[in-house]
Amino acid sequence: MKKIVLSMLVASIGLVAAEGTVPYKSGLLLPPQADKIYEKECAHCHGKDGKATSFAGSSRVSYAVIAGMDAATVAKELKEYRGGEKSNDYRLHNKYGYGSIMRSATKDLSWEEIDAVAKYVSGLK
């Protein structure tokens, strides 16, 4: 009996865990989930609130505050980071020297996902 109860308990914990972490990945033709994309690709540097301007303990690295930026501007920038600058024969968009990092953060995103995440950034207060 004990065993049965224990295994039921374990099973239910397993279910809860699975439910709490519905996985999401960008670039899989799923409807975009901007909050999850932001958390995975952006929050590490820009902060969960989009207001981080540097890495703790590294004063030489600095970022722009992105919270509340105009969605169309963010989308345009991200698309240029991802696909290169059309006006410049699709060369790397290397604003402030962050071109490579931004390209690696955006390379798995579709234009649809970029539009969604730009809207999310614009909504950060």
Partner 1 sequence: MDNKYIDKMLSEMDKDLAKQGMSRRDAMKLAGITGAGMFMGGATSASAADENKTVKSNAKGKIVIVGGGLAGMSTAARLTLNLSDPDITVIEPQELSVSYQPGQTLVGGGIWDEDDIAYKRDDFVPDGVKIVKEKVILFNPQENKVTTDKGTVISYDYLILATGLHLDFERIRGLEEAGRAMSAGDNERLLKALGDDGICSIYTAKGATKTWEQMQKYIAQAKSGKKTKFLFTHPSTPVKCGGAPKKIMYLTNARLKEAGARENAELTFYPNGGAMFGIPEYHDAILGQFKREDFKWHYRHNLIEVDKKNKIAVFDAKWQEKGPWDPVLKDYEVIPKHEKVRVPYDFLHITPPQLAPREVAESDLGSAKGWVPVNKETLQHIRYENVFSLGDVAQVPMGKTGGSVRKQYKVLVDNLIALMNGKTLEAKYAGYTVCPLITDIGTVMLAEFDWTVKPTPSFPLDPTVERWMWWLMKVHALKPMTMYGMLSGRA
* Residues making contact with partner 1 (CB under 8 A): 18-19, 21-25, 27-30, 79, 83, 86, 90, 108, 110-112
Minimum distance of partner 1 from residue 108's CB (angstroms): 7
**Which is nearer to partner 1, 1 or 29 (by Cβ)?**
29
Minimum distance of partner 1 from residue 72's CB (angstroms): 14
Overall residue count recorded for the chain in this entry: 125
Q: First and final CA of the chain: distance in angstroms?
A: 53
What CA–CA distances, in Å, run from 77 to 68, 98, 114? Answer: 15, 12, 10
**Which is nearer to partner 1, 23 or 97 (by Cβ)?**
23
**Which is nearer to partner 1, 27 or 68 (by Cβ)?**
27
**Which is nearer to partner 1, 9 or 18 (by Cβ)?**
18
Minimum distance of partner 1 from residue 56's CB (angstroms): 31
Choose among 38, 110, 32: nearest CA to 67.
38
What CA–CA distances, in Å, run from 11 to 20, 21, 31, 49? Answer: 14, 16, 30, 36
Residue with tokens 């990092």: 101
Minimum distance of partner 1 from residue 4's CB (angstroms): 21
- Rounded Cα distance between 24 and 35, Å, is 10
